Structures are given as C-alpha cells and as structure tokens.
Amino acid sequence: MKINACAALAAILFLSLSRISAAHVQDTVTVHNTILPVITDREHNVIAEFCIHNDSDSLLVLDNVNVRVSGPASSSLDRISLMYSGTMSVLYSETSSYVLRDAFRHIGAGQQIFCHPAYVMEQSSSGIRSKSSEGTGIALASGKKLIKGENWFYVSGSIDSRRIKNMADTFTLEITGISLNGNPAVILNEGSTEHRPATGVRQYMDDGVFVYRIPGLATANDGSLIAVYDVRHTSGMDLQDNIDVGMSRSLDKGVSWEKMKIIMDMGEWGGLPQAQNGIGDPCVVVDSGTGEIFVVAVWTYGLGNNHAWGQVGQGFSPEETAQMMIVSSKDNGKTWSAPRNITSQVKQKDWCFTLQGPGRGISMKDGTLVVPIQYQDASRIPHSGIMFSKDHGKTWKAYPGACPRTTEAQVAEIRPGVLMLNMRNDRKTGRVVYTTSDLGKTWTEHPGSEILREPVCMGSLLHVDAGSNVLGRDILFFSNPDTKSGRNHITVKASLDGGMTWPEEFQILLDEEEGWGYSCMTQIDENTIGILYEGSTSHLVFSSVRIKDIVKIPSLSMGCAYSDGMVLPMNTELHITGTACPGAEVRARIAGQDVSTVADSSGIWDLTLEPLDAGTGYEMTVASGNEELVFKDVAAGEVWICSGQSNMEFPLRGSYEARKYIEKSLDPDLRFYSMKSTLTTYGVEWSGQDASRVNNMEYFSPAHWENSAPGTASGVSAVAYYFGKMLRDSLNVPVGLIMNAVGGTTTESWVDREALAEKYPAILCDWYHNGLVMEWARERAALNMAKCSTGNRRHPFTPGYLFDAGIKPLGHFPVTGAVWYQGESNANNVESHERLFRLLVESWRKYWDNDSMPFYFVQLSSIDRPEWPLFRDSQRRLMNEIPHTGMAVSSDKGNRSDVHPIYKKEIGERLALWRLHDSWNKDIVPSGPLFREAVRTEQGVVVSFDYADSLKTSDGNAPECFELAGKDRIFHPATASLAGNVAVLHSDDVPDPEYVRYAWQPYTEANLVNESGLPASTFISEISSSVIHDNIIDGKRADEHDGLELKY
C-alpha cells in the first residue's frame, strides 16, 4: 500500500496539538508503516515508526509495545527490536533540520544506518515471541522514560538470508498494543503494508569503495543474475573520476551474490592516473541465441576533474571524445574478455559525447542485439537512440536518435520487430516514448509519451511476452522514482495495453525514501521479475517481485454494460466473457441453462449460451467460488451500438418536433445504455486534472441501463432513438441501444490502435502535427490541452483513444450490430478516410468476433463545404465494397450553414430500413436510388439505379442536379427523363459525354427519389456502352490510379 507522507505528518501534527493534562497520558498513537526495503543480514531495518508526544509534567513511561508479524517471509525474520531515536524521526522525508538533510546529501544515499546524523538512537527492547493462527505475536518490553515533547520510536527488524525460501515473499507487521503508564493507547495503523526482503548488493564502503551507482541487470541463459554498476572508488562524482565497472553474479535468484569482479578498468592509459581514465555507465545485454553476455561502458580520457558530459568533443580518438568499450562473457559471467573499442562503429563524427543506455539491452526475437544509446549532436543537444548488432555482437551500428533533449533510455520489443524506446526527458514534462519498426531509421511518437512522471532520472523498461509469464499476457513494466521532484518513491508499474495506460492498481512502491533513484529490471522466471535500484538504505538494492503482485489477479467481473435491465441479442448464440481468478470455475445460469468453464491463465473466461427467445423478465447469474453477479430484469431482443461524432450524439430534445415524440416515448422495452463524456471539447482549455482523467481513460461517466421514458429519452441520441423506435414498432421485440458518440471525434480515434499500427502507421505519427488529420480536429485538441503540461497528451480525437475508452470497457458485450454517424472530422481527406473506415469496420468486427456483423452508417448531409460531395460519393463506394453494410442518405435533410441539421427522425428510420430489409423482410426498400451504371445510347446517357422502381422527384418538378461532362471534364447541367429505374440524360453543351454526376453541389437540392420517397445518393462515374467500374480518379478508373490526389 502506498503511504501518503503528508497524511502521516498531518496525523503527527494533530497529536502534537492534542495536549494532555498532567493527570492523563496520550491515548491515541498513529503508526506509520514504512515502505522501505528490508535488507537481509542487516541488524536494523526500519519497519514501522510512531511518535508519542509527552506534554505531561508527571513521569510518563512506555511500558511495552506488542506487534504481530505474518506472511510467508515472516519466518525469515531473525529479530524484532524497538528502537528509540529521541526527538527526531529516522526517516529522511520526516527530518526537519536543514543541517541533517544537507549532511545526508553529502554523505550519499544508502549509507549504513548509523552514518545518518539523525540516527542517534538506543535499543529500547528486543522481542519475546508467541505464535497464533493470526501470525507471530511479539512483546517488546520497554520501560523507557519519555522526555517532555516528542519521543520517536521505530520497530526494527533483521532478516536472516539463510531462512529465505523465495525473495519475492513478503511479511506484514502490525502494532497491536502500546501501553503508557499502565494504560492502553488507542492505535491508529495507517493501513497494512507488505514488507519485502531485499539484498544490499553493494553498500557503502564495501571493498573500500565510497559509492556504487548506475545499475544494470540481466538474466543469463542459465538463469544467473548479472548485475553491473559503477565502482566509484573515492567520491560520488560522475565521469571524470576514478571509476571502474563492477559485476556481481547471483546463482540463487538474488538471495546471495558472489564477490564483486572488476570487469572494465582502463588503468593508467596514456600515462594519466586512473582518476583520468574513468569508465562507467554500464549497459548489459544477453544474446539469447548464443548465451554470450555483453557489457558496454563509456571511457573518458583526461579532462582533469571536469564533468565529462560538458567537456567531451567531436571526433573518434580518446583524446577527442568519449570511447564506447565492450566486454563479453561466454560462460555466464564467470570470466570476461578484455575491453574492445566500438566507438567508430557506432558514433558519427560530428556527435559529441556518445554512450550507451545505461542499464540493459535486449535480444530481439530475430536475434538482433539492441542497446539504448545517447549522444550530443554538434550543437550539444542530447538525443536518445539505439545501436544494434546483426552478427551476435561482432559489429554494431546506429542511426540518428529518436527525439532531441532526451538522454538515458531503455528499450523493449513490444511486438515482433517493433521497438519501444522510453527516454529520460530533461524538460521534466514526462517520460518520452517513441517506437520504431526499422531499427531506428524512423521513429514515431507513442500515444503514451509523456504520461509517466519524470523526475529527471533514469528509468527501466521491461517487456514480458505472453508466452513467458504466469498470466499469459503481454506485459510492459516500468520503474523509476514516481515523483516530479526528488528521487524517492521507487515504483514498479505495469501496463497491459502496450504503455497506453499504467493503472494505479498495477503499481508497487518499493522504497518511499530518498536515494539516487536509478533502476534496472529483468525477468527472472515466469512468475517473477527482479529489480536492481539505487535505494535509500543501500547503494544498490535487489528486490524480487511476483508478477501477480503487480498485475493483480482479477476477481469475478464483466464489462460495464452487464447490469440490471440489460438487453441481450435474441435468436443467436451468446458469447459472454469476463475475468476471474485464473483456473477458477465460472458458471452462468439463465432461462434454464447452466453452463460452466474455467478461467484461463490470464483470468479471462468465455461462455457460450444457447439462443434466447425475444422477451423480458430473464435473470442471469454468473458465479465463481464465493463471488456471484446477479443481473435482473434482463431482456432479449435487438442490441445495437450507436456511435460516431456530434450528429449521432445530437440529443432527441434538439431534433425537429421533438416534444411530441418525447411525450410518447414511454416504453419499458426500449432501453438505453448511454455513455456520456465527462469533458466537452468545444472551445475550452482543460485543466491538468481534466487531462489526467483523459490519460487514465476516465472520459466516460459510469452508465446503467434505463427504460425509455420522457425523462430518459429526451437526452439520448436522436438518430439512435428513432432507429430503435422503428425497430420496436416494426418487430415488437425489446430493443437495447448502447450510445457512446462523442462530438468532434475522428474516425481514427474509434479504430483499434493495433490495427492502425499494422495497416496505417502513418496516421499515428505526430498526430498533433500530422497533415493526414483535419486541421480543425488538431486545433481543437491543442486548444483543450493549452493549459496542460505536454505530459498529458492523450486526447479523445487521437488514434485509438475512443476504442480504448469507449469500446473495450464494454467487455465484448454481445450486440446485434452497429450504426454509425461520423465523417465530418475526416472529410478533408477522402483517401485517408477510406482506409480508416475499412479499418474501423474490420477492427469492430474483430473485437466482437463477427465477420458479418451489420454495420449501417449515415452518408454526410448537405452543407456549403466544398469537399463534401466527394466524401459522400466515397461513402457510397465504401458501402458497395464492404459486405454487410448499409448507408442512409441524408443529403435532402441538410442545412446550408449548420453541420447539425435537426431532421433526425428520417435519418434514424432510414438506418432501421437497412436492418429490416437485411434480416426480416427483403421486400422492404432499404435505400433511395443507388447508382448502378451509366451507358451511352442513341437516346442519351442512360443511368440505371438499384432500389429505384418508379423513379420520381420529391417535389413533382423535373429532376435536378444531373450533370454531364466530355473529355475536358467540365460539367454542365443535364436534363433528365425518368422511366422505371433509369434516368435518360441529355445536354446540348456536351455532345460527346464521358462522365456523369449527380447531387455534386456541397449543399444540394437534388430531388430524385424512388417510389418510397427515399432520396438518391450523390455519385460520379464514367460513361460507357458497357458495364464498367463506377469510381474514377482524375478521369482514370480505380485500377489505373497511380497515387495522384483525389480530384474531380
């Protein structure tokens, strides 16, 4: 549990202000359970702390303190002691004296405990143990006479490493009793904390060394742990100084470590002393194919005692610039080669200081070795990047970096061939994250860039493949000081969505106090990761953490749309899914069915139910172990997800003649699940708190199923309401509408980001400045983010965001199909939208595991925007191309200047016609006339249509808005005569027509309809004497298109 230090101080101050009389003693004591590594084989570790304020003139004695320890690691506790530290806390964060804080800084993080000036203490008592079913009880008899004022105590523990069964085990300690002058005090424990045994791999003055820093950690092929680090012999300074590279090896998963070896020492090269030949900042990488281990470090020559980072120049020689050196081991770290210089292979001549990671490199799935690097360009601007080897470490190569003003970085392969680089950002705005699919030739900023906190410190990144861990999930781990100031609160975080989000429940705090803060992680086995970090109680601390302790095992749960009153699809097999404890049985009951399954290793389960008849009054129960979910008032009928942007979001109350329909909206079998966005994007600048909610996917308010009634219907989507109402009236079955439209959103925001990365990666590149994206959408997003730090960069308009925030939370809730009204924010780039729309339909059908899921959409309406005719025709062609889709024409219901026309009833009902036609009655006409072909004849140009029996005009006048063009492609108005399903066109201005179009005005008053009164769609086509492809580009057929821009 993460302890709030401010809360602890507040509690202490409260106690200080709660004065007691001479006849009474303090009756309440607040206990702070510290979150610090419990270093094995060390006499004292601070486990819990409390302060007793004595304001009495009478004698006040602490009689005794009772504690209880429990948990797997409690058996390794060697001794529990009560320590008295006088008038001051032993914790750095609680130390009020500037002198003490400054002394701590100069002595260096992680000194032995008594080197801290504040640690002037005496042992008050040792424990007498008694065991019970709840753990081991320990009575700490004190008898300590308290001075007037503050009296600080802490419970100290020591762990015997020989008793440790698993370094990932933990224990808890609870102070159960405190007696003052024979009276029991009321104890306020600040929650239960899991304490972790840890190894002080390198501590102050081990082997006579003043400071150990800059950890690297890797797992050899034989399972050995290889730790590398700076050995800073005489001071804590960075290069240039007397620094070598040390290595320690553990053969028992981190419990114990072999004696340190110096594996890189440049001696007195060039006749200068070792202090002028420092080598450090190591990075270790294991070749998973050969087993060879490489360590790369940077050597600086000369420079006096100046800081090398600001002094090293360009060129290649040691006298000019820093040197990248490499050593290797072919026997799992037992012996090491002599250093080899690879500077000229990696560095470009005009680069200044060039060095590795530090930390850890990786071996890709194809065998490529990758090591993170950093360099200064000719202007001394730092960049992060990678170097790689295709020949098992013999030669190395690097391209220019990913991003300027970044330094120490770590790399992970998040998908086969795709590398993620997580970089220290010296601008302090958040960790910078980029990806590459070509070993660093090109880079793309990741949507999760600048979300993670940046204290200007190295961080560690580790990707654990689904096939290699107990949860069976791809997991990305990250560690660093989780703060924006100082280097405290060393935290390990996990992401299950490739770094898009880092949920708070997937985080573990290891060390809350101040240290140097660098860290490096490695996977130990399928259950465990290890971390070597610069801690507050030891220079280099090793901890082992179970993957399940970070990624918490889910309890029984299902997607957000599973709730009372829900509507499930009728007459089809139902696949319901959720999470439970891995391996646990999950059972579902409904309508006499009783089916069960077992949750997989990731905790995911999936059950198939037999089709339900249309109706209401069902009850569904899902149970696992002692957990049970009961859903009442369940209906079976038609279930549709209704999505898009503002014209789908447009409320019923704003539509034409809304009042009379709202008054008649009472219908318990028309049900809504309305997901409302929590933030508007219209003309506002968000606060930092707003942006943080967006980053955390908290963009939609919690929703629940509601029955249609005037109070609920008035605020739901008008198009969705009229769509659902027509299905209710026509089919007489329950209808459920899941509505999650968000105004202004782009198509790409609703597409699964993995699909975009695979099939349209260009749309992911620097979205805020990407020319493929409509400028209006980018400007709107930038305005919303204007007051926010750039560390909060995710926005509802950005690629994949609403798929993550608005689709995935549904938990694969079964639906009949989707209706969609969107495109306004993508109308500027037809070609891009066509790719995105195909991916939208594809990714939704993949998510719902239904290749034939109906997907009905609205063609954009009429408005004075010049690009819209082309967009409308593109939508028509997409309908013809993608199976199981249908398009509702809306051009007759537009508004010349308002992008939100109020005539929504007709649009919703036109969408419903497609559903009724496709699945219930083929005789229903689902659409207005849709262009089929245009043929040149002696009578004129004959244009034939589908869904066009008895063509006519909506106003009884002659057909309008037909146009013909010759080879010059200059269009002229054409007269039209109607007969059956054809229109015969003629224009005196075009004697030899080659092209035809209809309703091509942005705001069109075209009047062609079919017998049902449904309007014809905008179209453009070549004319032929035979059937041809109907989509042309610059006068060419689609199959002749050579990449020119779309123009007509």
Residue with tokens 């649009």: 907
Token pair listed for 991: 């004697």
Helix axes 868-881, 830-847, angle to 10 degrees: 40
Residue 298 in contact with residue 372, Cβ under 8 Å? Answer: no
Which one-letter DSSP state was computed for residue 18? S
For 13, residues 6+ apart whose C-beta sits below 8 A from its C-beta are none
Q: Hey, how many other C-beta atoms are within 10 angstroms of the C-beta on 1003?
A: 16
Token pair listed for 446: 């990741």
Burial of 102 (0-12, 13-18, 19+ CB in 10 A): exposed
Which one-letter DSSP state was computed for residue 312? -
Is position 504 annotated as part of the catalytic site? no
Q: Hey, how many other C-beta atoms are within 10 angstroms of the C-beta on 969?
A: 13
Q: Hey, how many other C-beta atoms are within 10 angstroms of the C-beta on 631?
A: 19
Across the chain, how many H-helices and E-strands are there? 15, 65
Burial of 990 (0-12, 13-18, 19+ CB in 10 A): buried
DSSP 725-770: HHHHHHH-S-EEEEE---TT--GGGGS-HHHHHHH-GGGGTTGGG-
In order of 222, 257, 508, 642, the CA distances from 650 in angstroms are 62, 65, 43, 12
Bridge pairing between strands 982-986 and 952-953: unpaired
**Distance between CA atoms of residues 524 and 529, nearest Å:** 5
Give 282's Cβ-side CA count (13 Å radius): 34
Q: Would you report the helix, strand and coil content of the chain in percent, each value rounded to 5?
A: 20, 35, 45
User: Comparing C-alpha atoms, which of 403, 397, 395 is closest to residue 420?
Assistant: 403
Through-space distance between the first and last CA atoms of the chain, rounded to whole angstroms: 63
In order of 18, 640, 665, 825, the CA distances from 707 in angstroms are 54, 15, 10, 32
Burial of 369 (0-12, 13-18, 19+ CB in 10 A): buried
**Distance between CA atoms of residues 221 and 227, nearest Å:** 14
DSSP 412-443: EEEETTEEEEEEEETTSS--EEEEESSTTSS-
Q: Per DSSP, which regions of 827-961 are E strands?
A: 855-858, 885-888, 930-937, 940-946, 952-953
Bridge pairing between strands 817-821 and 1008-1009: unpaired
**Distance between CA atoms of residues 858 and 573, nearest Å:** 29
Which one-letter DSSP state was computed for residue 999? S
- In three-state secondary structure terms, 1037 is strand
**Distance between CA atoms of residues 73 and 369, nearest Å:** 38
Q: What are phi and psi of 984, to 5 degrees?
A: -105, 120
Among the residues of 509-561, which ranges form H helices?
Answer: 547-550
Q: Name the amino acid, one letter, at 292.
A: E
Choosing from 174, 408, 649, 1022, the catalytic residue is 408
Q: Which residues are catalytic?
A: 408
